[in-house]
Amino acid sequence: MKAITLLGSTGSIGTQTLDIVAQYPDRFRIVGLTAGRNVTLLAQQIRQFRPEIVAICNEDKLQELREAIADIDPQPILLAGETGVVEVAKYGDAQAVVTGIVGCAGLLPTIAAIEAGKEIALANKETLIAGGPVVNPLVEKHGVKLLPADSEHSAIFQCLQGVPAGGLRRIILTASGGAFRDLPVEKLASVKVADALKHPNWSMGQKITIDSATLMNKGLEVIEAHYLFGMDYDDIDIVIHPQSIIHSLIELQDTSVLAQLGWPDMRLPLLYALSWPERIPTSWERLNLVKSGDLTFREPDHQKYPCMNLAYAAGRAGGSMPAVLNAANEQAVALFLEEKIQFLDIPKVIEKVCDKHQKDNCQIPALEDILAADKWARQEVLTASKELDDRILSVR
């Protein structure tokens, strides 16, 4: 029986993780849950999974949550705010922490969990992208496992089982192409939020769905792969694979290429991150190659999607630059979702902020440097977006 704490339990990753726990009650048990603000769903989850400790990030919602679970006996410890989430992450006898929080908000709880000796099932890629220079040494120091739950990285990790050290030559990340893969580039300027939120293959949270439409998600995954598998950026490639059946591939030194295949369903990588190295039998729909049909591949279009190159450049710059790229992207996506900037403004503001950070890029950042870079980049995006506003006003 594995004891698990789940951060971000009300989101897409969170609810799918709980699906797995509900399917395997004799294998997994929930110790702690955290959520942002969805009291109704969190209360239901507490009722069903009976965690020992719970945190709700939005402090204003604590009282409502307390009332919603007043009849439950025994009561879990209830905490609130960012510090509450950190407390849950490091609490008790949980062996593994699933990081389903979105954004760099996952960084401090993940660090707390690592320092408490917990294994990490990493869905929250932003944590590693921003915090890689701090997270990786901590993982080593505390001797914990960092198991990828992102589908591409899980695929690579699965293919790597049994590959000897030095055997890996290249990582090939597959990308669905996102919501606008069949839209001509001229039409991207006028796309609306609702269009960008329609992902062709995966059902996910809003932020990652927009990242998929800009292909920043793939750029972020390149940096994630660099920190997880120690590969140079020159040896991490992207290929568009619209069917999302091959979840990624590795090329070995002798040119052999290994791939991992499956239906696009996040439960599989989540289950593997929780059960590794075991293979747990499931009753999920089995892959049928005839049914999945043709598998096709094409070159990513870097003109149409500049975010991939921005991510490669930030990754190669290293230091605090990936944290700046990530924070600028989070802020730009938030502004796009609020309809304050246009879709094509997203890469523009990110590029501007990354350029400005070049002279201050801290090569070996401490946690404080990463947090400061993150805060600075968000503010810079707000300033840059105001300039965009002025530009639009002056054109009018």
CB 9 within 8 A of CB 34: yes
Return the residue nearest Mg ion (CB atom). Answer: 150
- Identify the CA nearest to 29 among candidates 274, 277, 270, 284: 274
Residue 135 three-state SS: helix
Q: Which is nearer to ligand NAD, 14 or 132 (CB)?
A: 14
Count CB atoms within 10 A of the CB of residue 379: 12
d(CA 89, CA 85) in angstroms, rounded, equals: 6
Say whether residue 248 binds ligand NAD (CB under 6 A).
no
Selected binder of ligand NAD within 24, 202, 229, 233 (CB under 6 A): 202
CB 305 within 8 A of CB 182: no
Say whether residue 204 binds ligand NAD (CB under 6 A).
yes
* Residue 123 touches which member of Mg ion, ligand NAD, none, C-beta under 5-8 Å by kind: ligand NAD
One symbol per residue from 299 to 338: x for binding ligand NAD (CB under 6 A), - otherwise; what is it? Answer: ----------------------------------------
d(CA 352, CA 117) in angstroms, rounded, equals: 39
Positions 39 through 68 that interact with ligand NAD (CB under 6 A): 57
Q: Which is nearer to ligand NAD, 36 or 306 (CB)?
A: 36
Positions 100 through 139 that interact with ligand NAD (CB under 6 A): 100-102, 105, 123-126
Chain residues that interact with Mg ion, rule: CB under 5 A: 150-152
Residue 227 three-state SS: helix
Q: Which is nearer to ligand NAD, 125 or 181 (CB)?
A: 125
Distance of closest approach, residue 105 Cβ to ligand NAD, in angstroms: 3
Greatest CA separation for the chain: 64
Say whether residue 205 binds ligand NAD (CB under 6 A).
yes
Instruction: Identify which range of 34-42, 169-177, 179-187, 276-284 contacts ligand NAD by CB under 6 A.
Output: 34-42
* Residue 46 touches which member of ligand NAD, Mg ion, none, C-beta under 5-8 Å by kind: none
Distance of closest approach, residue 28 Cβ to ligand NAD, in angstroms: 18
Q: Residues with Cβ < 8 Å from 342, sequence gap 6 or more?
A: 189, 336
Residue labelled with tokens 């869905």:
123
Say whether residue 264 binds ligand NAD (CB under 6 A).
no
How far is C-alpha 10 from the chain's CA centre? 15
* Residue 121 touches which member of Mg ion, ligand NAD, none, C-beta under 5-8 Å by kind: none
d(CA 138, CA 21) in angstroms, rounded, equals: 28
* Residue 110 touches which member of ligand NAD, Mg ion, none, C-beta under 5-8 Å by kind: none
d(CA 391, CA 188) in angstroms, rounded, equals: 19
d(CA 71, CA 289) in angstroms, rounded, equals: 50
Residue 377 three-state SS: helix
In single-letter form, the type of residue at position 73 comes to: D
Q: Which is nearer to ligand NAD, 18 or 259 (CB)?
A: 18
Say whether residue 8 binds ligand NAD (CB under 6 A).
yes
Distance of closest approach, residue 91 Cβ to Mg ion, in angstroms: 28
Selected binder of ligand NAD within 12, 174, 176, 331 (CB under 6 A): 12
| 363, 368, 379 from 360: Cα distances, Å | 9, 14, 16
Count CB atoms within 10 A of the CB of residue 61: 18
Return the residue nearest ligand NAD (CB atom). Answer: 11
Say whether residue 222 binds ligand NAD (CB under 6 A).
no
DSSP-derived pairing of the beta strands 168-175 and 246-252: antiparallel
Selected binder of ligand NAD within 120, 245, 266, 381 (CB under 6 A): 266
d(CA 55, CA 88) in angstroms, rounded, equals: 7
Say whether residue 81 binds ligand NAD (CB under 6 A).
no
Distance of closest approach, residue 238 Cβ to Mg ion, in angstroms: 12
Selected binder of ligand NAD within 35, 80, 98, 146 (CB under 6 A): 35
Say whether residue 346 binds ligand NAD (CB under 6 A).
no
d(CA 259, CA 247) in angstroms, rounded, equals: 7
Q: Which residues share a beta bridge with 30? A: 4
Residues binding ligand NAD (CB under 6 A): 8-14, 35-36, 38, 57, 85, 100-102, 105, 123-126, 150, 202, 204-205, 208, 266
